[in-house]
Amino acid sequence: MKRSLAAIAICSLAFPVAVLAASAGPDAVAATPPMATPQDRPYGGEIHLAVDTTDVERRIVHVHERLSGVTPNLVLLYPKWLPGNHAPTGPIERLAGLKITANGAQVLWRRDPVDIYAFRVQAPAGVKSIDIDFDYLSPTSAKVGPPEMSGNMLILIWNTVVLYPAGYYARQIPVEATLTLPEGWKFGSALEMDSTGGTRTTFKPVSLETLIDSPVYAGRYAARLDLDPTGKVPVSLDLFADRSASLVVKPEQLEAHRALVQQAYKLFASHHYAHYDFLYSLSEEVTQKGLEHQQSSENGASPDSFTDWDKLAFHRELLPHEFTHSWNGKFRRPADLWTPNYNVPMQNSLLWVYEGQTTYWGFVLAARSGLWTKQDALDQFAIDTAYYEALTGAQWRALQDTTNDPIINYRRPMSWRDFQRFEDYYHEGAMIWLDADTLIRERSQGKRSLDDFARAFFGINDGSVTVVTYTFNDLVKALNAVEPYDWARFFHQRLDAVAKPAPLDGVRRGGYRLIFTDTPSEFQKGRDDSLKHANLMFSIGLDIDNKDGTVTGTIWDSPAFKANITEGTQILAVNGAAYSGEVLKNAVTEARSTKAPIELILKNGDRFRVARIEYYDGLHYPHLERDVSVPARFDDIVAARK
């Protein structure tokens, strides 16, 4: 608001006549009446929220809400800006059947035409409480949206099933919630139970902020594992699966998850929850999420995660990542990202800390806990190093600008992911933190590290769940207290510049160098096999879905790009043979000696064509190789803390 007024003032000084004179054409219509901005004062009533999930086969959630403390000109809001999504992704299109009554009489509502998440309610004078009924239409298939419910389990995210009064901080609105589940289902949540009878559970009253940060996972096949049997604060792994066979967890697998909790405590030296629940779906029927909350997290993986443990290493940084968020992102939150309620826009300028450093600690804690081996961590960094070394998007777009990606294009498919850039603050962010960690270690001759920063920055207010925000300057100050250095310049060089070299200093200073061989690491092979993809990104420049040969990504400026092969193209044949991942890989290898282009028959819609890829360098897969001239700082970083 202030900026645009200032701009008009400057314009009118320079061009007074042009700005002030009326011109031909329509006039702008008046804006809609302003909405009450959130105030930090107690809401004078409460929300009684009753959610019924028993209509699970139809994926319809029935919601009844009794709102007391109603005042004239009530505006009800449906949460729009979702924490963890960093984006205006509240699924307003799934709210249906809205009916509001007061003392049994219907009350009219009208949606604000500009802010379609706001409902203006015309309650009669003197009415103090209203009843609100609506249905949340959870997706019936993946075509409509990520499935949240199946005949065997459900994910209940409270922001999808609540309307709340405008004008208050979310932490000032009390909610008493009840939840009805299908017969015989168990649930997990950070919420505390007040009472339970049959299928209906009443939770202890909480603020709207705590409710929305405390989703529920429930299901027919469930197991609850204690991850800190001797600790003062309970931490549990709440498993929900499509079938009971997926719930078998071996002792060594449980041990690694328990070690994750202890390694996190050694790193952060605090906790910021009353108890913590890893809500974990092992399912192909509901979406496989990763979403952080302060006292719980939403996690999803393949049903085979525990039974096919050795092949699925790549996925095991998920829990370390989401657990780290309890400290980095939830307890300590960027000041411009924190909002008083869910309908005030978020700003994402520090996501390279919120997500970048969390990605870094996710990798490190995965290795320190034994969920990963050291080699797994090296192989992950090898993939990222190779990707960012080749990234063409960095030629035009600074890393800082990618922090807007959740708002620009929240995880919708993209045609040119590497040239457009896609949320690079996660993995390029992690490389910057490896750079910072190894720099602190080098400058302090091994006496200090990023662990010291983590303890100082996240280890404050042990036991408190109250959010503490921070700015860029707070971050720089905290790093300076660990290791005096021009950290502001360090970050600006890596965040704001375009066409800069890839951030590879951390790997080099960690004692490794990037090499390519014709064989993928076990880690990468596990990932590609699990996704059923042929990954030829670092050779011909293609990533292909092996189920039918459809290209899922083409690297900009790669040999495949030059042959006009784009995302969505189907590869039918390779050098005259029907497509398979192996046939294509063999052709890439053979072209090395034959020096003949790889000939593909392609299909786009109803159109067939032949393309020739001119590439003769063979298969290329990234690895990190030890450089003995530099101390093995990376090995120290990923070693378990005693």
Which lies closer to Zn ion via its Cβ, residue 165 or residue 406? 406
Burial 371-391 (b: 16+ CB within 10 A, else e): bbeebbbbbbbbbbbbbbbbb
Which lies closer to Zn ion via its Cβ, residue 228 or residue 355? 355
Supply the minimum distance, in Å, between the C-beta of residue 359 and Zn ion: 7
CA distance 625 to 622: 10
Which lies closer to Zn ion via its Cβ, residue 352 or residue 615? 352
CA distance 426 to 516: 23
Residue type at 285 in one-letter notation: E
Query: Whose CA is closest to 93, among 146, 139, 46?
Result: 139
Which lies closer to Zn ion via its Cβ, residue 355 or residue 505? 355
Which lies closer to Zn ion via its Cβ, residue 329 or residue 526? 329
Which lies closer to Zn ion via its Cβ, residue 201 or residue 358? 358
Supply the minimum distance, in Å, between the C-beta of residue 362 and Zn ion: 8
Mapped onto helix, strand or coil, the DSSP state of residue 55 is coil
Supply the minimum distance, in Å, between the C-beta of residue 317 and Zn ion: 11
Supply the minimum distance, in Å, between the C-beta of residue 140 and Zn ion: 28
User: Residue 96's CB: how many other CB atoms inside 10 A?
Assistant: 10
Supply the minimum distance, in Å, between the C-beta of residue 67 and Zn ion: 33
Structure tokens at 15: 């061009």
Supply the minimum distance, in Å, between the C-beta of residue 354 and Zn ion: 7
Supply the minimum distance, in Å, between the C-beta of residue 404 and Zn ion: 17
Supply the minimum distance, in Å, between the C-beta of residue 322 and Zn ion: 7
How many residues at the interface with Zn ion, by CB under 5 A?
1
CA distance 287 to 305: 15
Structure tokens at 98: 């809205």
Which lies closer to Zn ion via its Cβ, residue 213 or residue 355? 355
Which lies closer to Zn ion via its Cβ, residue 163 or residue 291? 291
Supply the minimum distance, in Å, between the C-beta of residue 302 and Zn ion: 19
CA count, 13 A, side-chain hemisphere, 189 = 27
Torsion of CA 299, 303, 307, 313, to 10 degrees: -50
Supply the minimum distance, in Å, between the C-beta of residue 470 and Zn ion: 17
Residues numbered 259 to 288 that lie near Zn ion (CB under 5 A) are: none
**289, 155 contact by CB (below 8 A):** yes
CA distance 215 to 219: 14
Which lies closer to Zn ion via its Cβ, residue 355 or residue 418? 355
Which lies closer to Zn ion via its Cβ, residue 201 or residue 297? 297
DSSP class per residue in 329-379: TTTEEETTT--SSTTSPP--TTHHHHTHHHHHHHHHHHHHHTSS-HHHHHH
- Residue with the two structure tokens 């620009």: 408
Supply the minimum distance, in Å, between the C-beta of residue 355 and Zn ion: 5
Supply the minimum distance, in Å, between the C-beta of residue 292 and Zn ion: 6
Distance of CA 237 to the CA centre of its chain: 20
CA distance 321 to 334: 18
CA distance 53 to 59: 8
State the sign of the Cα–Cα–Cα–Cα dihedral 517, 518, 521, 527.
Answer: positive
Which lies closer to Zn ion via its Cβ, residue 242 or residue 355? 355
Residues numbered 354 to 393 that lie near Zn ion (CB under 5 A) are: 355
Give the CA angle between residues 493, 498, 503 to the nearest 5°.
55
Which lies closer to Zn ion via its Cβ, residue 355 or residue 437? 355
Which lies closer to Zn ion via its Cβ, residue 355 or residue 424? 355
Query: Whose CA is closest to 333, among 347, 317, 319?
Result: 347
Phi then psi for 99, rounded to 5 degrees?
-140, 130
E-state strands within 431-536: 468-470, 512-517, 533-536
Rg, C-alpha atoms of the chain: 27
Mapped onto helix, strand or coil, the DSSP state of residue 63 is strand
Query: Whose CA is closest to 325, among 289, 347, 356?
Result: 356
Supply the minimum distance, in Å, between the C-beta of residue 426 and Zn ion: 7
Q: Measured between alpha carbons, how far is residue 123 from residues 119, 164, 279, 627 in Å?
A: 12, 15, 40, 72
Which lies closer to Zn ion via its Cβ, residue 292 or residue 437? 292
Supply the minimum distance, in Å, between the C-beta of residue 634 and Zn ion: 22
Which lies closer to Zn ion via its Cβ, residue 203 or residue 314? 314
Residues numbered 144 to 183 that lie near Zn ion (CB under 5 A) are: none
Q: Measured between alpha carbons, how far is residue 349 from residues 290, 356, 526, 541, 601 in Å?
A: 21, 12, 34, 31, 45
CA distance 328 to 330: 6
CA distance 214 to 237: 15
DSSP annotation of 92 reads G
Supply the minimum distance, in Å, between the C-beta of residue 358 and Zn ion: 5
Binding mask 319-358 for Zn ion (x = CB under 5 A): ------------------------------------x---
CA distance 367 to 362: 9
Judged by the rule CB under 5 A, the positions of this chain that interact with Zn ion are 355
